[in-house]
Structure 1
């Protein structure tokens, strides 16, 4: 079964196909001949079996609901479908991946008003116009958020977080120099330099003198 959004899309497709297969419009009601005619003169409906007010009302109703009107309704419904849909930008947030973007957000956390597209009030109103019943709605597929990723490697939470930081840094910084910024790699939750900036003159001097100062109690090597 489709979800609510796809169910409405299918109904719109079917309505468009029916309208496009009809005779040319506009249609008009000829009260004298008790007929509804298309633009090319083809009779599309006879209402002579009716009488009085019912005859005229039926003829005028058929003429007013010609294929052009049906296609306008389909166009309007598609615009609503385009607004009330899931937001691709929320795909990285599993709990919001199937929320209705068109219904907006609320609270300080910008939480979606409609957490599942099948519960969208706008779509439910459109679907009612296409004949959706409560039983049919219950049978529709209900979009579910993607499963959350779980750690199955036996790592601790800190190790798992560290790995995520490492992957992000490798992609975003490519572990290279960025101007005067040193690229870092995360180990645990502490950034450790992977590439060092060029040493200062003092650092170079300490590197040279280091072996000769090992026995000095106040000297502490930097590496």
Structure 2
């Protein structure tokens, strides 16, 4: 079985197919196949507004689905969280830890005929399950550039510090000619930073 997101997608696809082949006696939202033919003569079957209305509803539902998906950039690896619901609190905990628990998707699914029995049979996204990232980097270019510059500056500082003699080394270099004149003087080996 698909997960909740996949189930809703299937229902929208079915509604859209019915709207595309709309007949006077068939509404893409309501099943009118059980209505007696005598009732159909000259009567409006429902207040759906026709195929254009049904197709607009499909488009609106797909926009909701596009917002409420598995979050590929979730901080909490263990959560199969809903991107549309986002995070909350100082630690950015997911508002909806599992996509199947997303209140927006559940409302949308019930509008498409979801029952508790169907919900119980749907797959649940697993912890850590994520779609692959697509498109450009989610880190703004200015932030990435600033981070790169700060890393370069830190590395340059470390290189300069590693190649700069310590104060002890500088003192020995200056005083060594005079120290060698002292009887019994033994040069002290330096380890690079004494």
Where on the TM-score scale, by shorter chain, does this alignment land: which range?
A: 0.5 to 0.7
Higher strand share: 1
Partner of 2:186: 215
Match of 1:61 among 37, 46, 53: 46
Over 3 Å counting, the alpha-carbon distance change for 1:4 and 1:66 in structure 2 is same
| Residue 77 of structure 2 corresponds to residue 94 of structure 1 | yes
Over 3 Å counting, the alpha-carbon distance change for 1:110 and 1:201 in structure 2 is closer
- So what's the TM-score if we normalise by structure 2? 0.62
**Cα distance in 1 for residues equivalent to 2:190 and 2:10:** 74
CA deviation string 1:84-139 (max 9, x = no partner): 2222211x53123x111222333322211211110111111111121111111111
SS of residue in 1 equivalent to 2:69: coil
Match of 2:106 among 117, 124, 140: 124
Partner of 2:115: 133
**Cα distance in 2 for residues equivalent to 1:15 and 1:82:** 18
Q: Matches of residues 1-223 of structure 1 in structure 2 within 5 Å?
A: 1-22=1-22, 49-50=38-39, 58-59=43-44, 61=46, 64-90=48-74, 93-96=76-79, 98-146=80-128, 178-179=152-153, 181-182=154-155, 197-199=162-164, 203=169, 206=172, 215=186, 221-223=190-192
Paired positions, count: 159
1:214 CA drift (Å): 7.9
Higher relative contact order (CA 8 A, sep 6+): 2
SS of residue in 1 equivalent to 2:152: coil
1:221 CA drift (Å): 2.0
Over 3 Å counting, the alpha-carbon distance change for 1:201 and 1:93 in structure 2 is closer
What do you get for the CA RMSD once the two structures are aligned? 4.1
Where structure 2 has 5 or more consecutive residues not aligned to the other structure, the ranges are: 27-34, 130-146
